[in-house]
Amino acid sequence: MSDTLIALRDVARRYPAQGGRPTFTAVQDITLDIAEGSFVAVVGPSGCGKSTLLNMIAGLDAPSEGRITVAREIVAGRLRDDVGYLFQKDALLPWKTVQANVELPLVFRRMPGDHGRIAREWLARVGLAGFEGNFPHQLSGGMRKRVALAATFVYGPRILLMDEPFSALDVQTRNMMENELLDLWQQNNKTVVFVTHDLEEAIALADHVVVLTANPGRVKKQFRVTLDRPRNVNDIRFDDRFRDLHAEIWEALREEVARSYALQRQLVHG
């Protein structure tokens, strides 16, 4: 078994009361170990603090209680330079070309080497050779995600945080992107934390699936996914072991989805 790279100990994130709203607890009692080189999926109903968790690991947000360490160094609201983050929303700079967008992290990090060449190589690797001069708004949603993927891989982060990166794509594009992500991950030995509300996606991609409870998010249960690699996300859904796992994890998740739904109804109807 490989070493733990990311460790969370009794982590909670509370947002202070504001304007008559009581203190809001996004997540609490989160204790989690993520091994170097593993692919971990975090699933849970909407509003259970999945994104908050990623933001804290990235250092964009700091835990109110508990401790997060990456490679034995404490993360507390300070950004690390070995983390890549793929957001759910488009985060490319609309006023820069595809090529310039992919070069940007190299510029920010003052990395040595021929930025233009490195960026072109990564664009070719995600299948976008020939689109270097285009602007993001001229590309489809799937292509923009590829650019974001290239811009993340280009500076070689050790950890990849992904916040429902493919949720806005149509099913075919999405499956293609998932397969490409698996390829990239296996070639580059990254540690991936992948947040999604889609259980099938989680099982198809990950080694471990962590189920969070409805708000406030706690770790409800963890599952190991022992399906063989390399995987093809299109075929693996028909595997018997996939179906068994799906049934088993859904058993844990279903209750939380129902609770989250009830909570939201309460909010709406007072």
Partner 1 sequence: MARRWLGAASPFLVVATLLLAWDGATRFGLADPRYLSRPWVVAALIWEWTRSGYILPHVAATFVEVGLGYVCGTVAGMAVAFLFFFRPRLAELCDPLVVLLNAAPRAILAPFAVLMFGIDLASKVMLVTLVVFTITLLSLSAGLKEVDRTIVDNARVMGAGTSDLTRHVYLPAALVWVVSAMRISIGQAFTAAIVCELLGATKGLGWIVAAGQSAVKPDWIMAGLFFAAVIVVLIDVAILAPLERRGSHWRVF
**Where do contacts with partner 1 occur on this chain (CB under 8 A)?**
58, 60, 79, 81, 83-85, 87, 89-96, 104-105, 107-109, 135, 137, 151, 155
Q: Distance from CA of residue 69 to its chain's centroid? A: 18
CB of 195 to partner 1, least distance (A): 15
CB of 122 to partner 1, least distance (A): 13
The dihedral through the CA atoms of 14, 221, 174, 54 has a sign that is: positive
Report how far residue 145's alpha carbon sits from residue 98's, in angstroms, rounded to the nearest whole number. Answer: 11
CB of 227 to partner 1, least distance (A): 30
- Closer CB to partner 1, residue 86 or residue 233? 86
- Closer CB to partner 1, residue 103 or residue 256? 103
Report how far residue 120's alpha carbon sits from residue 133's, in angstroms, rounded to the nearest whole number. Answer: 11
CB of 103 to partner 1, least distance (A): 11
Residue 54 CB burial class (10 angstroms; 0-12, 13-18, ≥19) = buried
- Closer CB to partner 1, residue 58 or residue 193? 58
- Closer CB to partner 1, residue 51 or residue 175? 51
Residues 6+ apart with CB under 8 A from 221: 210, 211, 249, 252
